[in-house]
């Protein structure tokens, strides 16, 4: 009797411990490919928080990036270095890279791993204005790279060269230099090699026990995907320029506010993305000047001079709008296409304006002759008609005309419109 009671108690204890054991062997994977941006920082921060809530054994960031913003990079590094569980950055799959900001994110991980055919390095800082950084900024970045490597007991000399000299290394070279901890062909091989491995962390060494890990992949949510799309340099640029163009066309040739409304929505979406991008003031000013000069062509007959100057300022401003940071360049094809579209649409609008200037000016009574309208009251034979959005006294040539029927203005006598039923 006693053995059976003991067995039952052990089974009950194991059933209570099973969820905790499963949770401890869970590994959360965060795949990310693209520039380091506010969207990627938000995604990785949320992913690590989700892993903490799951009580996961480790987090693996599968990384492929050309680099990006310093502020977003530092946010990611702070989150990975202060996570409750070990954070592994795995540059994968083959052909991926951890360049510029991605290099430092890899250095800041508890475990730095790379797949064959990948590379790391080229971490020289660049001003958001695109200019050459000062020695002070380079020294700061070099010290930061050294501190990240030293904190995880790795080679701290090569990271400094990556910052100062923009050197790069393959996965095999990085492993031989002691820049990374290991190489693996894929995630399965990586986790197999990490099982039982002691990891050096600021809070003390941790030994990973992931013999049978449960993989939980956390993807970007809808909000992060939308933010990533809106902060894509070319997309934000197209939204802004096409939106402004739609508003200009609506002002010069109204289309029932439809075109203007679409333009307004596009501009708002562009601003959502641009506030998260390192926009250069000089480029934005030139771009704005170009649009103003192109718009002035509608008001001033310059025989193409304003259009030419506007297009030059427009193109140069587009090129300088964003810095030469990896992953933050506007497609030259998009710049050329938008410039040609602006030139075509504004030339069309100018022709409409010039044509209207040569037409006789019709005022008051003259502009309703031959127009269509609606009878607002019964005309038997007199009543009220609505023509051109205005109420007029109407006289039916062939009464009666019932209220609500469509009418056509035949002639004008003083302030009275002679009308007949519309055919």
In a domain, 282, yes or no: yes
For range 306-316, the mean pLDDT = 83
Question: Does pLDDT of 235 surpass 70?
Answer: yes
Q: What is the dihedral of CA 49, 53, 54, 56, to 10 degrees?
A: 60
- Region for 183 from its dihedrals, namely left if φ exceeds 0, alpha if ψ lies in -120 to 50, beta otherwise: beta
Q: How many domains does the chain have?
A: 3
Instruction: Tell me the pLDDT band of 336, cut-offs 50, 70 and 90.
Output: confident
Question: Does pLDDT of 23 surpass 60?
Answer: no
Question: Does pLDDT of 276 surpass 80?
Answer: no
- Comparing 124 with 171, the larger pLDDT belongs to 171
Q: What is the pLDDT of residue 19?
A: 47
> Across all residues in the chain, what is the average pLDDT?
83
Last residue of a domain, one of 190, 224, 258: 224
Q: What is the pLDDT of residue 296?
A: 77
d(Cα 254, Cα 246) in Å, to the nearest integer?
A: 10
d(Cα 141, Cα 143) in Å, to the nearest integer?
A: 5
Q: Quick one: 156 and 205 in the same domain?
A: yes
Q: What is the pLDDT of residue 345?
A: 75
Smallest CA-to-CA distance from 313 within 331, 296, 301 is with 296
Q: What is the pLDDT of residue 364?
A: 54
Question: Does pLDDT of 75 surpass 90?
Answer: yes
Instruction: Tell me the pLDDT band of 298, cut-offs 50, 70 and 90.
Output: low
* Residue 364 and residue 354 in contact, taking contact as beta carbons nearer than 8 Å: no
d(Cα 296, Cα 353) in Å, to the nearest integer?
A: 12
Q: Quick one: 204 and 235 in the same domain?
A: no
In a domain, 10, yes or no: no
Which residues have CB under 8 Å from 37's CB, separation 6+? 68, 69, 72, 228, 231, 276, 327
Q: Quick one: 95 and 217 in the same domain?
A: yes
Q: Quick one: 372 and 341 in the same domain?
A: no
Say which DSSP state 134 is in.
P
Domain of residue 415, CATH code: 2.40.50.140
359-383: per-residue pLDDT in tens?
Answer: 554 455 556 777 888 899 998 889 9
Instruction: Tell me the pLDDT band of 178, cut-offs 50, 70 and 90.
Output: very high
Reduced to 3 states, what is the DSSP secondary structure of residue 357?
A: helix
Reduced to 3 states, what is the DSSP secondary structure of residue 72?
A: helix
Q: Quick one: 132 and 188 in the same domain?
A: yes
Last residue of a domain, one of 187, 205, 224: 224
In a domain, 270, yes or no: yes
For the stretch 304-309, contacts whose Cβ atoms lie closer than 8 Å and that sit 24 or more positions apart, written own/partner, are: 307/343, 307/346, 307/347
Burial class (CB in 10 A: 0-12, 13-18, 19+), 50: middle
Q: What is the pLDDT of residue 302?
A: 67
d(Cα 60, Cα 282) in Å, to the nearest integer?
A: 40
Lowest mean pLDDT of 10-24, 131-145, 243-257, 337-351, name the range: 10-24
Helix ranges, 214-304 (H): 222-230, 233-252, 258-274, 281-296
Question: Does pLDDT of 5 surpass 90?
Answer: no
Q: What is the token pair recorded at 237?
A: 């640029």
Say which DSSP state 312 is in.
H
Angle of helix 222-230 versus helix 38-54 axis, rounded to 10: 160
80-123: per-residue pLDDT in tens?
Answer: 999 999 999 999 999 999 999 999 999 999 999 999 999 999 88
The boundaries of the domain holding residue 277 are 231-358
Say which DSSP state 373 is in.
E
Element (H, E) at 313: helix 305-320
Last residue of a domain, one of 358, 378, 397: 358
In a domain, 63, yes or no: yes
Q: What is the pLDDT of residue 14?
A: 47
d(Cα 289, Cα 301) in Å, to the nearest integer?
A: 18
190-223: per-residue pLDDT in tens?
Answer: 999 999 998 888 777 888 888 888 999 999 999 9
Q: Quick one: 217 and 111 in the same domain?
A: yes
Which residues have CB under 8 Å from 334's CB, separation 6+? 234, 237, 238
């Amino acid at each position: 009797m006693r053995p059976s009671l003991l067995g039952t108690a052990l089974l009950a204890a194991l059933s209570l411990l099973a969820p905790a054991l499963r949770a401890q062997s869970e590994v959360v994977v965060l795949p990310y490919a693209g520039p380091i941006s506010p969207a990627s920082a938000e995604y990785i921060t949320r992913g690590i928080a989700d892993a903490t809530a799951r009580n996961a054994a480790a987090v693996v960031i599968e990384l492929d990036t050309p680099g990006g913003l310093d502020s977003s990079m530092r946010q990611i590094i702070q989150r990975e270095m202060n996570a409750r569980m070990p954070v592994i950055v795995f540059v994968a799959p083959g052909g991926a890279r951890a360049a510029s900001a991605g290099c430092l994110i890899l250095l800041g991980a508890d475990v730095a791993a790379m797949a064959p055919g990948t590379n790391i390095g080229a971490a020289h800082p660049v001003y958001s204005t695109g200019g050459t950084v000062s020695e002070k900024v380079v020294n700061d970045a070099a010290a930061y790279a050294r501190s990240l490597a030293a904190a995880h007991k790795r080679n701290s000399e090569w990271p400094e060269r990556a910052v100062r000299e923009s050197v790069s290394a393959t996965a095999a070279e990085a492993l031989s230099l002691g820049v990374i901890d290991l190489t693996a062909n894929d995630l399965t091989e990586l986790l197999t090699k990490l099982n039982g491995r002691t990891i050096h962390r600021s809070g003390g060494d941790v030994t990973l026990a992931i013999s049978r890990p449960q993989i939980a992949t956390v993807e970007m949510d809808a909000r992060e995907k939308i933010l990533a799309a809106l902060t894509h340099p070319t997309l934000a640029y197209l939204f802004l320029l096409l939106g402004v163009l739609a508003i200009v066309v609506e002002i010069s040739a109204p289309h029932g506010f439809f075109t203007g409304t679409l333009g307004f929505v596009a501009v708002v979406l562009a601003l959502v993305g641009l506030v998260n991008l390192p926009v250069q003031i000089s480029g934005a000013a030139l771009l704005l000047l170009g649009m103003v000069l192109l718009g002035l062509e509608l008001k001033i007959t310059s025989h193409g001079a304003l259009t030419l100057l506007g297009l030059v300022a427009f193109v140069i401003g587009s090129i300088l709008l964003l810095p030469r940071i990896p992953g933050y360049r506007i497609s030259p094809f998009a710049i050329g296409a938008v410039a040609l579209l602006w030139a075509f649409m504004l030339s069309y609008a100018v022709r409409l304006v010039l044509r209207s200037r040569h037409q006789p000016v019709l005022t008051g009574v003259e502009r309703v002759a031959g127009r269509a309208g609606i009878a607002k009251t019964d005309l038997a034979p007199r009543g009220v008609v609505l023509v051109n959005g205005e109420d007029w006294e109407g006289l039916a040539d062939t009464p009666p005309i019932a209220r609500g029927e469509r009418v056509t203005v035949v002639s004008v006598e003083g302030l009275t419109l002679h009308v007949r039923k519309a055919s």
